[in-house]
Amino acid sequence: MIKRLRLKFVAINMTLVAALFFSILALVYYSTAANLENDSINLLRSVALNPPRPSPGEAAEDVNLPFFAVQIGPDGEVDEASGGYFDLTDADALAALVDEALSAPGDIGEIRPYALRFYRAELPGRYVIVFADISSETATLAGLARSCAVIGAVGFFALLALSVALSRWAVRPVERAWREQREFVAAASHELKTPLTVIMTNAELAGDSRETGHILAAARRMKSLIEQLLTLARAENEGERASNGACDLSAAVLAAVMEFEPVCFESGHSLESDIAPGASVRGNAADFTRLTEILLDNAVKYSAPGGKITASLRPCGARRFALTVANEGEPIEPGEARDLFRRFYRAPKHRSSPGFGLGLAIAESTVKRSGGRIRCESADGWNSFIAELPRM
């Protein structure tokens, strides 16, 4: 739980900070690009309306960009082309640039193959088209993009490291309280077993009577609750991962199925099983037997009268085995299916049934410690609990 809390803290923190950080970098890039483009267009407009007259081989003093201006006469022919930065002797290339600028839908545009931006102005009896080289602008933006990418990557990993460190500090009080709670539950459950054993022993020795029967029934119910609390406490104290040893899942599931065959028969249910042999997973065989028993006990409790119960263990893809216990019964709503694995949760319509609402929580803990997942599905009158466990 603490690990998931840390991951959630880091994910939320990084989402907010990274979104803000990269938004700032994107704003810097696009504002720079817009300023460069606006400066270039303003200069082109100024040159088009007041064309400079530089001497051959010289640039006008008030011009900061390499450019050339072309004047188009009423008949569409190039009357004059001026600009000392470019070689304007290639008439065909110049005519192609002019044609593309004249056919453009707007007065401002770019001719990317030539790295040129143009501004077209319509003056009395003629057109003036000014072309400016934008290769330096493109190179500047490319360099800025690389800088933003480097700054973004370095900043992201720096923020990630800071978020991880902050997550450990932020959840430390929660981790301490959670650890103390686990220790208290384990210690209290262990200490309660001794007086409870004394009560049960004395009640059995007191002879058969209605009163002693009530005492024994209540004591056995309390013993069941204590054992389930101890099971959860041990699972949490062992950590979120199970042992690395391999176990025969098929044998563990089969042992639980054989134990529940007479239970199902006495309760009027039929039990069918389909257990694939040789299923090997990481974990403890006793834990998986208990997992199967919990699911089968749950199926017996909530199956329709005379309903069928099935238990199957089959490969699920190339990397997992699926343990499925299903029973015929009342449908489970999707929202309720998610809550069934919460500790002490009891569905409103089943709160009068025996139990404490810890069985499925223990089942989920067993599956997660083995790196698997468990879910509940309800369809066509069948309620299924499916535990997917990774192969060894």
Express each pLDDT in 42-76 by its tens digit: 888 888 877 665 554 554 444 445 888 888 877 76
Q: Give me the chain's average pLDDT, please.
A: 80
pLDDT digits (tens, 9 = 90+) for 131-185: 888 888 889 999 999 998 999 889 888 888 888 888 888 777 777 766 666 666 6
**Which residue do the tokens 């790295």 mark?**
115
* Domain 171-237, second-level architecture: Orthogonal Bundle (1.10)
- Which amino acid is residue 32, in one-letter code? T
Among 86-90, 95-99, 120-124, 258-262, the range scoring the smallest mean pLDDT is 86-90
pLDDT given at position 233: 66
Alpha helices in 50-134 (DSSP H): 91-103
DSSP string across 341-391 = TSTT---GGGTTSS--S-HHHHHHHHHHHTT-EEEEEEETTEEEEEEEEEB
pLDDT category at 267 given cuts 50, 70, 90 is confident
User: Rounded CA gap, 291 and 248, in Å?
Assistant: 14
Q: In sequence order, which residues have a C-beta less than 8 Å from that of residue 381 and are 6 or more positions away? A: 328, 329, 331
* Fold of domain 242-390: Heat Shock Protein 90 (3.30.565)
pLDDT at position 30 over 90: yes
pLDDT category at 356 given cuts 50, 70, 90 is low
- Residue 232 · residue 185 · CB < 8 Å: yes
pLDDT category at 350 given cuts 50, 70, 90 is low
- Residue 322 · residue 253 · CB < 8 Å: no
Which pTM was predicted? 0.51
pLDDT given at position 28: 92
Q: Which CATH number fits domain 1-170: 3.40.1840.10, 3.40.470.10, 3.20.80.10, 3.40.50.1000?
A: 3.40.1840.10
Q: Please give the helix or strand (H or E) that residue 291 lies within, else none.
A: helix 285-302
* Tokens representing residue 82 in the block: 């001026």
Q: Where are the domains of the chain?
A: 1-170, 171-237, 242-390
